[in-house]
Structure formats: structure tokens, C-alpha cells
Structure 1
Amino acid sequence: MAIAIYYNASMDLTAVAFSLEELMARRARLVRRAQQLPPVGARPVTVAGRVAGWVSPAVLDAIAQHPGVHVEPEAAHLMPVPAQRLGMDAVLREIAVIMRDAGQIRSWRNELLDVIAEGRVLAHIERGAVRPLGLLTHAVHLSAWAPDGRMWVARRSLDKSTDPGLWDTLSGGLVSAGEDPASALLRESHEEAGLAPVELAAHSPLRTVLRMHRRLPDGYQVETVHLSDCVLDAATAPASLDGEVMEFRCVDMGVLRDMITHGAFTLEAELCILDSLQHRLSAGQTAVLFSG
């Protein structure tokens, strides 16, 4: 196969990028990994009458007797209990505590996320309870570039409960309760990389990369992944403020290619990076070969 490598004057001449065809083929393989059926035996969950998630048999056994939980052969229903003055938030709060005490929550975060079903926010719940109930989350990621065409990447702390030590986009995280994705992007970029909003003033609008469905040790991940790109000033040096990142690197395309080839990134991060590369290629900003 003939290999054509093109350079853009705005990029470091040592940067090697990827062909659009190769990127699309690799992305297709990763998407298959990101689309899995719910765990065996899981039942659909409704919240306040709307289809919202999937619950495993073990989690259902733990919460089945709690007020506000009604179990039927085909589904589990979570609902307010007016007679006991338990609104939807109160029911979900108590269910989360029961799940934690039963060992069904791996990490209690003291952070609330929106409970979203059929396009509506119905209530809020402890972040650690989301995946055991298979509830939808929204994640934001930032692909950050240097002016010379290199990409900033961040290595996750070894203390992270998911994918410790793997590499990630420069910043990323979940949208919190009552927060919009654009605000979440600015917050996460500040907490994880020390970036001020003014440094991201020219970031691209968030776009949807995909919705993931994965079986994970802590439950079922149903997550819409959103991505924005930006070019950081050459003098910018990211610095973690929340301790969730152990190392930052600004890598050329040759190093990035090797990292992707050797599985150095989380699945979400690699999908975001491939999407970002694909957008740059489509815009005529880079070119190249990916051989992994």
C-alpha cells in the first residue's frame, strides 16, 4: 500500500497523522466494543413512570422491599410515595444508601447527577448509584491541541475507580445535576487541567461522539459522550487541581499513533481522539497514515 504523508505549515514537521479511511475503520471497531447488551438477567427500570435504565438481579434484590420500589416480572418501577411524604428524590436517595450498604456501589461520590428518562430530567441521584441502575449520563471531553499540531493528553490517577493509569483526553467528566454540558466542560477543564475559561474562549461547540452501552464492574454504562476541540496557547501548561490526573504530555502524531496502537487510552478517550483527528482531516488540516 502506498503511503502518502502530508504536512501543514502550521504543524510540527515531525507530526505524523492518520488517513481518514484508517481512522474510520478503527472507530468502527471501537464502536462495536462500546455497544453491549445489558447484563444477563437485568430488568428495565422506570422512574416516575418513564423508562430510565436497567437493574441487575443483585441490585434489585437489595432494594426490592423499599417503599417506592415496585417489582414486576418484566420491569422494576421506582416512584414517589405520597403517603409517606417521599418524593422521587427522597426515594432515590434512600435507595442509593441501601445499595451502598449492600455493597452494590463501588464508590460513593457525594455528587448528584440528573436522572434523565425519555428526554426529561425527573430527579437527582448519587453519582455512585447511576451505573448500578443503568441510568443515562452525559460526559464531556476536551481535545486540546498545541499550535504546532501536537495533542495534549492526560494520564488518569492510579486512585481512579475506573481505568486507573490509562491515558485520557486533556480533560473530561460527567455533567452534574442541574448543569449544562458547556458549563461542565469549563468546570472539568479547570478542575482537571487548571484551565481558565478565557483559555478556552475559542473552543468548538460540543458535538456528540456517540452513546455508549457497556457492561462494567460497577454496573451498566449508558452514556452520551460530547466533545469539544481547542488550540491552546503555546505558553499554556496544564496543571491538575483535583488530583485526578497524574501526568500531562503534549505528543506529536507519531507518539499518539503508538499510544493508540498499544491501547494506552480509555475507550471513551480514544473514540474522542479519533473523532477529533477525523474532524481535522476532514477540514484539510492534517493527513496521514495510521497502521494500528
Structure 2
Amino acid sequence: MDSSSVAFALDDLQTRNARLVRRAQQLPPAGARPVTIAGRVGGWIGPIAQTAVADLPGVHIEPEAVHFTAAPTARLSLDAVLREVALALRDAGCIRAWRDELLDVMAEGQTLARIERGAVRPLGLLTQAVHLNGWSPDGRLWVARRALNKSTDPGLWDTLSGGLVAAGEDPESALLRETFEEAGLPAVALAAHGPLRTVLRMHRRLGDGYQVENVLLSDCVLDAGVAPRNLDGEVLEFRCLAMPELWDMIVRGAFTLEAELAILDSLRHRLKAAPGGVAF
């Protein structure tokens, strides 16, 4: 860290982080009911989505909860039931974007099925998001600006790379995949990246439902001369920020909520590790 570029102190980070955590911890939407998957509690479904799936095989709506199970009489496995649920949600306009990507359905610590990615928020299902903070050797941070055609937070700034863990994928593999797709960095460039850690579990009301998401984060110091380049069209530009510029962007609200939480977490770790806890 370059102590000549003092920008903030640990108290500044903790104060801002506390405000962000309050934004990231919201109650379920009004009228939402708990969701069970094969008898295990695993989500929250709003009134419009409840109406959309009410008559489907394997869906049982009770006053206290909405239950999703396999439907043997209709010869539908749990995966098949959830496929029909996702299609019904799409037809009812509850899904913002159909991705043709499957995510694991998790409840009470168990992976029970798979479902279309676009259906997870209308059902308030738990997702896992991995993020990478990529540092330069001189203590600057690489950040990425989201493409303007992204369905969520278009044009805002983000961590160097990040995305959801796909069905059947482990978080480490997801981190390497996302970093290659979004930043063009092969696994060898991340050989020394730190272990993934949980920043927090988000609970947030959004336009397309309820976001329940574990934010997982790793830090990596990239070799001098390494510059990211986007491969999947989801990043508009990259910048490598010195601390004063980074803090200015944080204060201006230039980052997504998840990205700012992840960046603040890394800054706290680095600040605490600095000799004497000196701000940088």
C-alpha cells in the first residue's frame, strides 16, 4: 500500500459499510409467503408469482407457505415441476430476462434441484455470487464498468469480475470461469488468489422479486503489466484506480451495492494488515 496517498481510515470504511449492510438486509416483499422445496424451507414468493403458478402440478399453496414437490401422478420430477414453474412465471411477466442457464436450488443447506436462472428472484431462492478484487502490485484496484445492456445495474462499476455459481459448479470453478469470461484472465494469472470468503448474505427487495444471495469474495494481486480485457460483452471498460480516486467513486455511489460491499471488505482487510493500521 502506498501510504503517501491517504484517502480514508478504518472508521470511514466501517461507517459506510454499516449503512450498506442496512440496505442489503430487507424483509421479504409485502404479501410474500415462504417457499418450501421438497419439504425444506428455501425461498419467498410474492402474490403475483403465487397466482401464476397456483394451478401447476407439484405446487401446493397453503395460507402459511407455498410448497413445490415432485408430481408422480403427472410423471414430473422436481426438476420438471420447477421447469413448468419457471415457464409460468415467464408467461406472467414475472421474469425480467430468460437466460437459459440453470442454477442449483438450495434449501436448508442441501441442493435439491435445478431451475432457470431468471426464476430465482421471483421465488426468493438462495444464490451464490463470486467476486474477485484484482489489485496491482503498487496497491491500485482494477474495477469494471457494467455494460449498458445489462438487465441489472447497467453502467455502474463492479469488481474486476463476478457472477453467479451455475448448477453443478463449485464456487472456485465459477470464480475462474467468470474471471476468464469477463476479464480475459486465465487461471494461471490467478494462481495466487486468496481463498473465497463470505462477505454477507443479502436479502433485498428488487423489481423482479427477492434477492437472497451469498456474496463470496477473493483477492488477487495481478502481475505488473497484466491488463484485463472483456470477452463476453458484459463489461464496458476497465480502470485501475489509486486510493483517492477509488474512495471518491465509492462516496459518489458509482458501484453496485454488491461490488461496494466487496471492495469495502477488501479494504478493511488490507488496512488492518498495514503496519500500525495506517490509512492509505
TM over 0.5: yes
Q: Which residue of 178, 188, 202 corresponds with 1:198? A: 188
Deviations along 1:170-192, whole A, 9 cap, x unmatched?
A: 00000000011111000000000
Q: Is the 8 A contact 1:15 1:150 kept in 2?
A: no
Matching residue of 2:47: 57
Alignment of 1:42-191 (within 5 A): 42-191=32-181
2:221 is equivalent to residue 231 of structure 1:
yes
How far 1:22 sits from its partner (Å)? Answer: 1.4
Matching residue of 1:288: 279
Q: Is the 8 A contact 1:18 1:277 kept in 2?
A: no
How far 1:15 sits from its partner (Å)? Answer: 3.4
Distance 1:240 1:256 in 2: 21
AA aligned opposite 2:188: V
Distance 2:257 2:146 in 1: 13
How far 1:14 sits from its partner (Å)? Answer: 5.5
AA aligned opposite 1:128: G
Distance 2:160 2:89 in 1: 33
Which is worse superposed, 98-107 or 280-289? 280-289
Distance 2:241 2:105 in 1: 38
SS of corresponding position for 1:140: strand
AA aligned opposite 2:123: L
Q: Which residue of 23, 29, 34 corresponds with 1:39? A: 29
Distance 2:222 2:187 in 1: 12
2:219 is equivalent to residue 242 of structure 1:
no
SS of corresponding position for 1:178: coil
Deviations along 1:200-259, whole A, 9 cap, x unmatched?
A: 000000000000000001110000000000000111110011000000000100100110
AA aligned opposite 1:249: R
AA aligned opposite 1:108: W
Distance 2:278 2:266 in 1: 13
How far 1:156 sits from its partner (Å)? Answer: 0.2
Distance 1:32 1:273 in 2: 17
Distance 1:88 1:143 in 2: 37
SS of corresponding position for 1:22: helix
Distance 1:138 1:287 in 2: 33
Moved beyond 3 Å, runs of 4+:
13-17
AA aligned opposite 1:282: K
Distance 1:16 1:165 in 2: 28
Which is worse superposed, 233-242 or 126-135? 233-242
SS of corresponding position for 1:148: coil
Matching residue of 1:3: none
Distance 1:212 1:178 in 2: 22
How far 1:18 sits from its partner (Å)? Answer: 2.6
Matching residue of 1:23: 13
Matching residue of 1:272: 262
Give the number of equivalent residue pairs. 279
Distance 1:16 1:209 in 2: 25
Q: Which runs of 5+ in 2 are unaligned?
A: none
SS of corresponding position for 2:8: coil
Deviations along 1:9-53, whole A, 9 cap, x unmatched?
A: xx3x66334311211111111000000000000000001000010
AA aligned opposite 1:113: L
AA aligned opposite 1:265: F
Distance 2:117 2:107 in 1: 16
Give the TM-score normalised by the residue count of structure 1. Answer: 0.93
Give the superposed CA RMSD.
1.2
Distance 1:14 1:46 in 2: 54
Give the TM-score normalised by the residue count of structure 2. Answer: 0.97
